[in-house]
């Protein structure tokens, strides 16, 4: 039996019995954590607000065997304004679901944690459009998780690609394909979209590119990342339609 404290974001919860919840947390040091929040649904519970989705806090956890229980929580941020805009709330929920699919129990997730926190902050407290924010999140997620798109050379023949030539994207191989190698299943990518991805990867996750929406490969990156996940992203069906 031991007691630990973890800074974490609530990715999901499931109501349990009359007043409890099972929380899925993302910790930068411990990855995905499942913990029981006893009595959190009581009106005067001190951990009520910290047991909601999106809650960022310091969670005091008690471990007995393989089971973790939240015994206290200090709330840092709720990202409450998301709840006032259904589109942005849907996007935020999608980001949480993607992070849950990626994070592994007991495996440090510092980059994923900071990327999620940074994107949620911009989604909540800025007027930046959600599509570029989501595309940037997915692009940097692919980079920090080891499947960064290859954008300099054709993934089939290895030829270096010119900036102005027509290219396609091969989801299975994870990169661009030249005209000679492309097949019907490959997705066309504009030169402007390739430049956007290159700039975002070079500038880092804090970069913001004010570009026309046609320049942002939102659907491409969604499809690419979702094909790399072990399970479907539940909130994908909630995302605003183009």
pTM to 2 decimals? 0.93
pLDDT, mean of residues 91-111: 96
Tokens read off for 228: 């790399």
CATH superfamily of 2-77: Nucleic acid-binding proteins (2.40.50.140)
| Per-residue confidence (pLDDT) for residue 64, from 0 to 100 | 84
Distance (Å, rounded) from C-alpha 146 to C-alpha 88? 27
Say yes or no: do domains 2-77 and 128-232 share a fold: no
Q: Are 110 and 28 in contact (CB under 8 A)?
A: yes
- Which whole-number Å values give the CA distances from 15 to 38, 83, 146, 183, in the listed order? 10, 20, 34, 47
Tokens read off for 17: 């019995």
Q: How far is CA 230 from the centre of its chain?
A: 14
pLDDT digits (tens, 9 = 90+) for 217-242: 999 999 999 999 978 898 999 999 86
Token look-up 């299943």 returns 185
Residues in Cβ contact with 12 at an 8 Å cutoff, skipping those fewer than 6 apart? 23, 24, 53, 96, 97, 100
Q: Is the pLDDT of residue 206 over 80?
A: no
Q: Is the pLDDT of residue 12 over 90?
A: yes
Q: Is the pLDDT of residue 210 over 90?
A: no
Q: Can you give the residue ranges of every domain in the chain?
A: 2-77, 128-232
Does CATH number 1.20.1440.120 belong to domain 128-232?
Answer: yes
Q: Are 132 and 222 in contact (CB under 8 A)?
A: no
| Per-residue confidence (pLDDT) for residue 230, from 0 to 100 | 79
| Per-residue confidence (pLDDT) for residue 231, from 0 to 100 | 84
């Amino acid at each position: 039996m031991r007691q630990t404290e973890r800074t974490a974001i609530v990715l999901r919860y499931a109501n349990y019995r009359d007043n409890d919840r099972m929380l899925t947390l993302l910790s930068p040091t411990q990855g995905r954590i499942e913990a029981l929040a006893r009595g959190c649904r009581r009106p005067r519970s001190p951990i009520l607000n910290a047991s909601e989705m999106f809650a960022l806090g310091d969670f005091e956890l008690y471990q007995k065997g393989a089971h973790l229980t939240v015994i206290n929580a200090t709330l840092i941020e709720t990202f409450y304004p998301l709840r006032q805009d259904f589109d942005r709330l849907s996007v935020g929920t999608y980001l949480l679901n993607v992070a849950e699919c990626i994070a592994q129990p007991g495996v440090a997730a510092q980059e994923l944690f900071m990327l999620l926190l940074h994107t949620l902050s911009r989604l909540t407290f800025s007027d930046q459009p959600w599509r570029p924010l989501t595309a940037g999140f997915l692009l940097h997620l692919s980079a920090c998780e080891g499947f960064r798109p290859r954008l300099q050379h054709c993934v089939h023949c290895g030829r270096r690609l010119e900036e102005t030539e027509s290219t396609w994207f091969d989801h299975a191989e994870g990169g661009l394909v030249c005209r000679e190698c492309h097949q019907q299943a490959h997705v066309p990518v504009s030169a402007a979209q390739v430049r956007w991805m290159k700039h975002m990867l070079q500038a880092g996750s804090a970069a913001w590119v004010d570009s026309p929406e046609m320049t942002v490969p939102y659907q491409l990156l969604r499809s690419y990342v979702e094909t790399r996940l072990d399970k479907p992203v539940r909130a994908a069906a909630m995302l605003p339609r183009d």
